[in-house]
Amino acid sequence: MRNSGNRAVEHAEAMVDLERDTAVAGIRRGLTAPGSANCCDCGEDISPERRAAMPSARRCANCQQRRDRVAKRGW
């Protein structure tokens, strides 16, 4: 019985590791993926300057600033 308990714990730990690794890989893909020409929030064009500075940008500078302010406040 003792071995099966250890195997269960090892399996659970392996599943947690797999979920974490999968999440990290997804975030990394998102950071290197090409961005968008239009903001996903307001639909306006993302400026060429912003796209050059942040090729993975999906929001215009104004919408990203607004999102950052809201996140900072915790809303």
**Confidence band for 56, pLDDT divided at 50, 70 and 90:** confident
Helix (H, G, I), strand (E, B) or coil at 38: strand
Q: Has residue 47 got a pLDDT over 90?
A: yes
Q: Please tell me the distance from the alpha carbon of residue 12 to that of residue 24, in angstroms, as a whole number.
A: 18
pTM: 0.54
Q: Please tell me the distance from the alpha carbon of residue 16 to that of residue 12, in angstroms, as a whole number.
A: 6
pLDDT at 1: 46
**Confidence band for 49, pLDDT divided at 50, 70 and 90:** very high
* Sign of the Cα pseudo-torsion (49, 54, 59, 63, in order): negative
Q: Please tell me the distance from the alpha carbon of residue 50 to that of residue 44, in angstroms, as a whole number.
A: 13
Q: Please tell me the distance from the alpha carbon of residue 38 to that of residue 32, in angstroms, as a whole number.
A: 17
pLDDT at 2: 52
